[in-house]
Amino acid sequence: MDFNEVYQKERATRKFTNRKVNENVLRQIIKEAQHFPSLLNSQPWKVYAVMGDQLDKLRKEYRAKVEEGAEPNEDFATMLSLEWDIFPSQNMATMGASQSYFFNKKLDLFNEANNSMFNAPVVVYLTIPMQSPAWSVFDLGIFAQSLMLIALNRGIATMPAHSLVSYPDLVRKYASIPEDEMVGMAIGLGYPDKTAEVNDPKYFPDRLPLDGIYKLSK
Ligand SMILES: Cc1cc2nc3c(=O)[nH]c(=O)nc-3n(C[C@H](O)[C@H](O)[C@H](O)COP(=O)(O)O)c2cc1C
């Protein structure tokens, strides 16, 4: 696919169809994502895929936890500060049409998408060792973004979501992740449900003007 096309397709997909993702294709995507850089080539990431019956069971238990009001306890929360600086807070609060759409008018739709794990036919959970420097979080971000672009290049849409790692014990159980690995992030993969309102492109959020983030020193 032309890079520009991949670039345009890079958007959150909050509802997938039931069409499955071929496991060989998934393996290839992950293999290609290994190509990208990490500090001193440390490659701290591991990838655990869950699909089919296992994912159905995980999804059911995940929803039950959300509905019983279980407190999320993401692994990253133990490692990183959860306090936001003013700059990203303002971006989250004020940016774009999606904010008013999701957070004021259509919160139920947004919540349902998250609670159903976006109906993703496969979720990949990305881990780094429990004992990691902040650099490894940076490396994992590069790996995650690379994986998403490679998937998009193969016509597979992506949904990066921290909600998917809200309950790491549940994820560990179904994805067989060892206790000494941190469940950092997860990405749902599949084919977008183009009829779903939650995927409507008119609600894609804006970005800051370039001058809001870029300065050339003179
Ligand atoms: C680290 C990370 C975590 C995210 N977690 C969630 C999430 O839990 N639920 C969700 O609906 N979207 C989640 N998103 C998607 C963002 O809300 C989305 O990427 C952002 O609003 C920009 O929208 P766009 O990707 O469609 O351009 C997450 C994105 C990233 C990078």
191 lines ligand 1 (CB under 6 A): no
160 lines ligand 1 (CB under 6 A): yes
Residue 15: per-residue pLDDT = 97
Q: What is the 139 CA–ligand 1 centroid distance (Å)?
A: 18
Residue 175: per-residue pLDDT = 98
In tens, the pLDDT along 30-57 reads 999 999 999 999 999 999 999 999 999 9
161 lines ligand 1 (CB under 6 A): yes
Residue 168, exposed/middle/buried by CB under 10 A (0-12, 13-18, 19+)? buried
Which of 10, 148, 162 is the best mutation target for the ligand 1 pocket, counting ligand atoms within 8 Å of the beta carbon and taking the most? 162
List the domain boundaries for the chain: 3-84+117-200
Residue 72: per-residue pLDDT = 93
Domain 3-84+117-200, architecture per CATH: 3-Layer(aba) Sandwich (3.40)
Residue 154 amino acid letter: R
Q: What is the signed CA dihedral for 123, 126, 130, 134, rounded to 10 degrees?
A: -140
In tens, the pLDDT along 89-145 reads 877 776 555 555 565 667 788 889 999 999 999 999 999 999 999 999 999 999 999
